[in-house]
Structure 1
Amino acid sequence: MFSIEHDFDATVITLVDEGRAPLTEDVTVNAFEDCVTVEQLDTRTDQVVRITLSLAQVRDLGAALNLPEGIYRLRPAKG
C-alpha cells in the first residue's frame, strides 16, 4: 500500500510494508525541486535514516530497475 500527498514544496510518497511478517517500517519518499530524499525509521537506534539523491541519481535508479546486470551510462536521446 502507498499514499501520495502534495505539500507546498514536495510530493510525499509513503510506502507501507504489507504482507507476511517480518514487516519493515514505512518508507517515506520526498520529491523536491532539486533532490529526492528517502527516509525510514531504524528501530535499532530509534532514529530516522535519510538518504538524499540528486535528480540524476533518481533518473539512473529508474533506468537501472529495468536493465540486466552490468555497468551503464545514460546518454541524452538524439534528435
Structure 2
Amino acid sequence: MFTIEHDFDATVVTLVDEGTDTSGPLQEDVTVSAFEDCVTFEQYDARSDSVVRITLSTDQARELTAALNLPEGIYRMKKRD
C-alpha cells in the first residue's frame, strides 16, 4: 500500500510494508519526498532510534527509475536537450 500527498514544495509518497505470509518481518514505512532539485528517502531505524535519510539528485532518481526496469549491466543515461 502507498499514499501520495502534494505539499507546497514537494510530492510525498509513503510506502507501507503490508507483507505476505512468506515475506518475513515487516519493515518500517518509507517516505519519499520529491522536491524540485532532489528526492529524499526516509525510514525509521529502530536500532539507532532515528530516521535515516538518503538524498538523491533528480538525475540519480531518474537513473534509479530506469534501472528498476533494465537487465543486469552498465548503463549511462543520455541527457535531454
TM-score bucket (shorter structure): over 0.9
Matched, 1:32 2:35: yes
Q: Segments of 4+ in structure 1 off by > 4 A?
A: none
Q: How does 1:55-74 map to 2 (within 5 A)?
A: 55-74=58-77
RMSD between superposed Cα atoms in Å: 1.4
Establish whether residue 10 from structure 1 lines up as the match of residue 13 from structure 2.
Answer: no
For residues 9 and 19 of structure 2, the distance between their equivalents in structure 1, rounded to whole angstroms, comes to: 32
Q: 1:18 to 1:7 in 2, by over 3 A?
A: same
Structure 1: how far apart are the matches of 2:19 and 2:60? 29
TM-score, with length taken from structure 1: 0.92
- AA aligned to 1:32 is F
SS for the counterpart of 2:63 is helix
Compute the displacement of 1:77 (Å).
6.0
How far apart are 1:38 and its partner, in Å? 0.2
Structure 1: any 5+ residue segments left out of the alignment?
A: none
